[in-house]
Structures are given as structure tokens and as C-alpha cells.
Amino acid sequence: MLRRLGHGLVGPAGRWVAVFCGRGGWGCAWVGPGKWHDRRGGPGRRGADLDEGRTVGTGRRERTQSGARGQARARRVVRAAAGAAVAAVLAAGCSDGPPLRADSPTPSHTSGAPAAPPATTGPASPGGTPSAAASAAPATGTAKVDATVASKLDSPWGMVQLADGTLLVGSRDTGRIVLVDPQKGTTTPVGTVPGVAHTQGGEAGLLGLALSPDFGTDHLLYAYFSTDSDNRIARMLYDPTRSPGDRLGAPDTILRGIPTGALHNGGRIAFGPDGMLYAGTGETGNRGLAQDMSSLGGKILRMTPDGQAPPDNPTPGSLVYSPGHRNVQGLAWDGQGRLWASEFGQDTWDELNLIEPGKNYGWPVVEGVAHRAPYVDPVVQWHTDEASPSGIAYAAGCIWMASLKGERLWRIPLDGTKAAAAPQAFFPKTYGRLRTVIAADDHTLLLTTSNTDGRGTPTSQDDRILRVTVT
């Protein structure tokens, strides 16, 4: 049985499985429980591009709790540490095919292929028993828009689904959160996150949203947002019994000091199968931050629900899970608990990366596939006019990636740690810019447009949330 966590789907509680690789090796895998798109230009950049991440001239592109609750979270940290210790002893890597381009044919597996990430990535969830590894997704699939579940939204960015099927949706530019009821077709004000700062034409504001792993009991909503001085993560009590517009408690900031700027703020947050909170940050146009291990910018961060560094993070006492990122706006886990992230490139390549703890993803030294140690190559890359990727989700054995400048939804079928075939595009130039995608179930996606963000051409019905059936 699958269950939803953050923006992805994961299987039942964690379990070890032996993985036999095509080259005679073996290992163990853990089966766990939009363009302005920011870019900073350089010599020879293309000057006529306006999209999240690239701008004409600069060449930028957007790439109090109870003691009992605290003790429960502490136990989760200890269990995550124990699981990772076991993974460190047992996990072994498998070899992979080369990264794909969006226009690539199905990959061939040659002896000259670069080394692939190990079969197990990210900290493992504790407990469970062995089960079979997932088979490769079909090379092609389908995606059909069945309904518009909401319309006339203002700059939607973060979105989460509640247990009853309703949605909490944040407005980047205004800081307001609304409750969308897809069955009734209603939109109800929830409240406004105080302190949100947004500049017209920029990318800062109220960004990602995530539900506490214990939302059923603690009712905590997490938000990543920009202020005048930083990007930060805070949690707020959501009380649906209160009057519309007054359903958010005061923010409890768990992390501050993430660099902020007009561009490249990252902003996606999601809880992983291990119960830890992950955050994708941007380097705000200051490229050096991505390789500066003392900075929270240009990283994927991993923290406890209270904002502390888990003891099994790659560097003790540090929140940094992986460095070398330009602007991460998509995070999702596949059915085996592996973490995937979308990445805004500069002028050449956008990326889908398989994230391994402590590995370096190369920005600003490399962009796209470089075959340059010690940097990790992307699994798939796209030309920037085809993607400018924001949110991603896992469903039907595939990563689904929303594209801003590319104005399409990408399907990337997975075969373990690699793409099973070339990516497949849906809805090109049909609904405009696409920002956030979440999996409602294994064959249903909820997809937001992003045409009111200052870089699209909105219709009278924008922005919208679309319900998409996929295979």
C-alpha cells in the first residue's frame, strides 16, 4: 500500500532488499516506508530570454510543543540514525547508464558509461522486512487533464493535500493561504503568513508548504518564505474550526538565515520517509554560496521537525545534505525511498538529479553532464527553453516535472537509479507556465499553473489547479 509523504509516494514501512546489478555486482536497497527561472549570466549568454532564472541584462534565471511530542520526535531522530548506520554497513553501489537528454533515445548500457549513484540513497527508514525491488516503468505513458479543481488563484506556489482531499495553497506574492475544496469547487481564506517579503518581478515570497508527519495530531503546517533579511522556515498551527481568514497560529520559526535575494530562492520543502524535513535552497545569484559549506544557500538541507541537524547528516552538526546546487524547486522520493531533485540551470542545461547524502552537484563549476569528478552528473538534462523545472512528484513509477518556461509537464520513467527511457512531454504550450505538482494517488496528479507570477500571460481563469490522470 502506498502512502503520500511530502510531494511523493512511498511504500510501506522501510525494508531491506538485495539488488543484483547487470555487471555482476550486488548491493542492498532500502524500500522506504516556475521562467524567469533564475540564472546568472556570463560571457556569451543569450540576451533575449525572460524566464524564471534568466533575465535580460543580468542573465539570471530562477533555478512549544508538548514534552511528549518532543520526545517522540527525538525517538525518530535516533531511529533514523540507526537506519543510516545499517545502510552504511550494508549498502553497495550498482552501475548505471549515461544521463539522458530530453531528446535522447532510450539509453544503451555501455562499458564507457559514467558511474551511477548507489542503489540506496538518503537515510533509510528503520524497521520492516525485505521485499522485491520495483520493476522499470514503461517507456511511454499517458497524461490527461480530467478537471480544473480551482481557478483565479493569485501566484500559487506551495500546495499540500489534507487527509480529506482538500488543499492548502499558498500565494507567493501576497503571503496568503487558501483552502481549496476540489469536490465543492470552493476556495476559502485560511490566513496570511506574517513577514513575507516579495518584490514585483522577483522570485521571493511565500514559497513551499509541507505538513508535519504528525499532522493528524499536532496540526502543524510548515512554510518556507522570504523576509526582508532572509529566507526562513516556520511552522504554524492550522485550526479549521476558526473563522475563515483566521485559521493560522503565530509562526514558530525553526530555521532562519537562509540567504535571500530577488532571484534564486529555492523554496521547496518536504518531509521524507525518514520523518526529516528537507529544503531546497538557492544561491540568490551569488554563485560562490553553492560551494560554501558554511552557507545554507545553494544546498539541499535536512533537519529534524524542530530545525536541528540530525546526528546522521553527512557532516555532524550541519544541516547540509548536499551542496553544489543553483536553485532547487522540486523534491520527491520514489517508491524505494530515493530522493530526486529538479535543478534550474543557467543558459544551457536544466537537471533532474538523484540526491545522495554528502555528494556535490557541481554548481557553479559545472552545469549539466560534465563527467568531472568529484561532481555528480544529472540523471536527465534538458535545454533550458524546454524546462525551467519547478515542482516534481512521483507517481506510476515515474518522476513528473512541472516546467515554467518550457510550459509542459515532463514524464521521466524510472528504472531504479536511472531513467528507463527518454522523457516524454505533455501539454506543451497548452496551459502556460506550470509550477507545482503533487501526487494525490499513484495515478492522479494535482498541477498548478503559474501565469500570474509576472512572467506568464494569464487568462481570465488563471491561475488554476488541474487534476491529471497519468500512467
* Residues with active-site annotation: 264
Grid cell, residue 105, equals 533515445
Say if residue 355 is exposed, middle or buried (CB neighbours under 10 Å; 0-12, 13-18, 19+): buried
- Paired with 220 in beta bridges are 237
> Cα(374)–Cα(376) distance, rounded to whole angstroms?
7
> Cα(393)–Cα(447) distance, rounded to whole angstroms?
10
Who contacts 217 (Cβ-Cβ below 8 Å, separation ≥6)? none
In the numeric block, the cell 520559526 is attached to: 253
Say if residue 329 is exposed, middle or buried (CB neighbours under 10 Å; 0-12, 13-18, 19+): buried
Total Cβ atoms within 10 A of residue 22: 10
User: What is the identity of the amino acid at 91?
Assistant: A
Confirm if 462 and 152 have CB atoms less than 8 A apart: yes
374 prior amide bond cis, ω within 30: yes
Confirm if 117 and 354 have CB atoms less than 8 A apart: yes
Instruction: DSSP letter for 238, please.
Output: B
> Cα(35)–Cα(380) distance, rounded to whole angstroms?
19
Q: Cα–chain-centroid distance for residue 352? A: 10
Selection from 301, 320, 392, 395 nearest residue 350 by Cα: 392
